[in-house]
Each structure stands twice: as structure tokens, then as C-alpha cells.
Amino acid sequence: MENHKNVTEFVFMGLWENRQLELFFFLLFLICYLAVLLGNSVILLTVTYSQLIEQPMYYFLCHLSLMDLCYTSTVVPRLIKDLAAATKNISYSECMTQLFTAHLLAGVEIFILVSMALDRYVAIVKPLHYMAIMNRKKCKMLIVLSWAVGFWHAIALLLMVLSLPFCGPNHINHYLCDVKPLLKLVCKDIHVVSILVIANSGMVVVAIFLVLVASYMLILYNLRTRSSSGRRKALSTCSSHVMVVVLFFVPCIYTYVLPAGSENKDKEISVFYTVIAPMLNPLIYTLRNTEMKSAMRKVWSRMSHSELK
């Protein structure tokens, strides 16, 4: 731990340096966070207490909502607290914990989105083999694999940052402990480390995004042979997935592909995948999905009846 002996805590500069603006966004982000908690909790309860949990697509959706809840809770409560505070301090150990946890959960979420794309691909391109390929055992394996890959990604970044010397400035130009703003505080040449970060995060995100885009293009191509009603249903489901993928991946690509020394809008853009996407995901998956809306009505009706008894 000799490398960072001069830095025991960091200070967030936050999103804006305007006090009145920060108080306004304190209220806005508080409302957004409550919407994230409510929306994703509704999806979790609806899927868990209905027959939808038996379907691979909703099994993955349940895990995606759980990741949205956990990921947002590692970032947004602290952001809300700091918006109301005069000073925005975080200890070195808390900063490293937030860095690891945020990247672990984001990594898991990315590979759950890949699993959901695989599920839709098999359902549409190989419908006769769907239940054999996407059985519950394979779905559980995909979730375990998502956690394994997410852990590998997060631990690699954490070990990289722990080995770096922080011996001078401690003001992080961000509202969370992320690898790129931390690299700007390192008191040694960061060119090699910056390339490693782009390889670990940026290039991986780009590659996965391109694979997802290719899979949805193949799905669209295979839909030509379907009936008009089957095509409409498949397009409705896939369009929801595409919207979620774009909301999450495009801001991530912008943030992690550019090198750490470049002047860009990282902290403003990161609001999309830390706050906005987790808030909109439940709306996207429920408002455009008749099965989810029907299951929600049944579950809440059943719960209200049991309360009356």
C-alpha cells in the first residue's frame, strides 16, 4: 500500500459546480432513484410470482431488473447525498469498493443482455429446438457465466488501479469512482494503463455491441418467412431489447473507448447508464409487452385479494 500513502481520501467534484443546480438535480435524481426501485421491484415481483418465470426470456428479465436495482444502488444514493452536501469526500477504500462493485454489476448486466439476445435468436431462428436449447439448466449456466465474466472484468480493473501511485491531487472530476477519472490523478505515465483500460472495457463493450447488433439483424432477416401476426409479436419483443441495448451500450462506448487524458463529457454521459437506463428499462419491458401487463394485473389482483382476507 506504499503507492497511495499520500492519498487517504478523494473528493468528488460532482456533475456541476453550481450549488442551485445541484439542489435541483438532488430532487430530480431522488425521484429517478425511487422510480428505479419501484419499476424494477414491480418486474421482479410480477415475474417471480407468475408463470412467466418458467420462460427463459422473463427469467433473464428478472435477473436484469435485479442487476439494475443493485447497480443503481451502488452509485445513485451516494450521488444524491453528495448533491445535498457541501463537501463530497470518499475514503480510498470506499472508492475502490465502489469501483469494483459498479464494474462487477455492470459486467453481469452486459452479459445478461447477451443472454437475452441469444434467447430471442434461438426462439426466432430455431423455434423447434427452442425448449431443448434454452432449458432451465442452460439459463442458469448463462447467469453463472455472466457473474464469472463480470467478476473477471471488475477484478482486473481493481488490481490495475490498486497498483497505481496516487501521491498528489485527490479531486475526482466525476460523481463516482471510475477508472478513467482516477487515472487522471495518477502520478506516473498512464499511456500503457490507459490502453489496457480501453482494451478491458472499451473494446470489449464495442465487440459485444456489434455481436448484439448482428444477432438482431439476423433475427430481422429470419422474420421474413413468418406470418404477419408472428412477425409483429417478434418485432415488438425485439424492439424492446434493442432499445435497452442502445440505451446502455452507446453511452458506455462513448465513455470507455476514448483515452483517459481526453477532455470529454464522461460524467454527463454516464448518467444515461447509471440512472436513466435502469429507470426506463421497466417501462420499455412492460408498456410494450402484453404478457407482462396481463401478468401484472393477475399478480396484483391476487395480492390485493389476499390482503382483503
Residue 54: CA atoms inside 13 Å, Cβ hemisphere, count?
A: 5
Pairing of strands 9-12, 171-172: parallel
* Confidence (pLDDT) at 80: 92
Q: How far apart are CA 140 and CA 279, in angstroms?
A: 26
Per-residue pLDDT of the chain (309 residues; tens, 9 = 90+): 444 457 788 988 877 777 778 888 899 999 999 999 999 999 999 999 888 889 999 999 999 999 999 999 999 999 999 888 878 899 999 999 999 999 999 999 999 999 999 998 898 888 888 888 999 999 999 999 999 999 999 999 999 999 888 887 888 888 899 988 888 888 887 788 888 888 888 888 999 999 998 888 888 887 777 667 667 777 777 788 888 888 889 989 888 887 766 566 788 888 888 999 999 888 888 776 778 888 888 887 777 666 555
CATH architecture of 9-307: Up-down Bundle (1.20)
* Confidence (pLDDT) at 150: 94
* Confidence (pLDDT) at 85: 82
pTM of the shown model: 0.89
Write the single-letter amino acid at 250. V
Write the single-letter amino acid at 137. K
The CA angle 35-38-44, to the nearest 5 degrees, is: 135
Q: Which residues contact 138 (CB under 8 A, 6 or more apart)?
A: none
Q: How far apart are CA 59 and CA 238, in angstroms?
A: 16
The CA angle 121-246-140, to the nearest 5 degrees, is: 45
* Confidence (pLDDT) at 262: 59
Q: Which residues contact 24 (CB under 8 A, 6 or more apart)?
A: none
* Confidence (pLDDT) at 304: 67
* Confidence (pLDDT) at 100: 96
Domain-wise residue ranges, the chain: 9-307
* Confidence (pLDDT) at 2: 46
Q: Give the DSSP per-residue string, 151-201.
A: HHHHHHHHHHHHTS---S--EESSSS--HHHHHTT-SS--HHHHHHHIIII
